[in-house]
């Protein structure tokens, strides 16, 4: 049994009735959340995907992390798939009665996931030259897209004890999400379910040197400082793509 399945009571709805397909680890993450004008952000979503708000505004999350031990069930782990960096820009949406994540971009330093994410899941992946490594108690992440359209460089580290994340808090609203949504003009809106234990979260200290990711996505964030959290990570399973609305 996958270790993520040892914890189920926190899920907002039951697991899918069909078998999971992929396993992976999401490690050493920073969640950098910025307020965004909801009216402007809503225009970037397809019909049928409802933007969610918290504390009077919409939010986007910039999330650098390491993807590790990604493999399709039932195959064993492979050394050359051991780990690679990712950098995601996302917001929070709902389709039907299930809240989830909507991605504006996903940068990755691994061609198979870029191709597979685009072709199979309709996700806006970008191939980037990336690093993600420890640096004197910090985690340093850099990313430069191969086409030169966006760069990112920052370092971050956890601060203090693990946070007691309660339902109704911003931390719970922004991180405890168990599906993602994507859209294509030919296949419509799709949902991909995921499962993992509750996120272990800490406050996070962040130093950003360069960030062109939001500008590249056409997202204008508000000038206040982001809300920042760190997680050592979770073990994850994901399910197949489900169509939830046809193309229009």
Q: How far apart are CA 47 and CA 181, in angstroms?
A: 13
The residue with greater pLDDT, 161 or 74, is 161
The residue with greater pLDDT, 74 or 23, is 23
Global confidence as pTM:
0.96
- In tens, the pLDDT along 104-134 reads 999 999 999 999 999 999 999 999 999 999 9
| Mean pLDDT of all residues belonging to the chain | 95
Q: How far apart are CA 162 and CA 174, in angstroms?
A: 16
- Alpha carbon of 94 to those of 22, 169, 178, 181, 242: distances in Å? 23, 18, 11, 9, 15
pLDDT at 247: 61
Q: What is the mean pLDDT of residues 150-162?
A: 98
- In tens, the pLDDT along 201-229 reads 999 999 999 999 999 999 999 999 999 99
Q: How far apart are CA 142 and CA 150, in angstroms?
A: 11
Work out the pLDDT band at 75, boundaries 50, 70, 90.
Answer: confident
Say which CATH topology domain 29-241 has: Acetoacetate decarboxylase-like (2.40.400)
* 89 in Cβ contact with 149 (< 8 Å): no
Q: How far apart are CA 195 and CA 11, in angstroms?
A: 8
* 162 in Cβ contact with 201 (< 8 Å): yes
pLDDT at 80: 61
């Amino acid at each position: 049994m996958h270790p993520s399945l040892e914890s189920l009571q926190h899920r907002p709805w039951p697991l899918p009735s069909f078998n999971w397909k992929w396993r992976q680890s999401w490690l050493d993450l920073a969640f950098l959340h910025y307020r965004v004008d909801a009216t402007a952000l809503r225009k970037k979503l397809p019909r049928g995907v409802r933007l969610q708000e918290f504390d009077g505004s919409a939010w986007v999350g910039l999330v650098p992390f390491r993807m590790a031990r990604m493999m399709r069930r039932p195959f064993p782990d492979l050394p050359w798939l051991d780990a690679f960096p990712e950098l995601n820009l996302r917001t929070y949406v709902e389709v039907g009665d299930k809240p989830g994540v909507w991605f504006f971009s996903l940068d990755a330093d691994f061609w198979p996931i870029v191709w597979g994410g685009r072709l199979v899941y309709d996700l806006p992946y970008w191939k980037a030259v990336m690093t993600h490594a420890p640096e004197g108690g910090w985690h340093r992440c850099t990313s430069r897209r191969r086409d030169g359209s966006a760069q990112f460089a920052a370092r971050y580290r956890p601060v203090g004890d693990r946070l007691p994340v309660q339902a109704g808090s911003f931390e719970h609203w922004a991180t405890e999400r168990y599906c993602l949504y994507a859209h294509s003009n030919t296949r419509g809106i799709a949902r991909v379910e995921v499962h993992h234990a509750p996120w272990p979260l800490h406050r996070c200290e962040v130093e950003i040197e360069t960030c062109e990711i939001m500008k590249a996505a056409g997202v204008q964030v508000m000038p206040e400082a982001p809300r920042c959290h760190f997680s050592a990570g979770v073990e994850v399973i994901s399910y197949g793509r489900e169509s939830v609305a046809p193309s229009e």
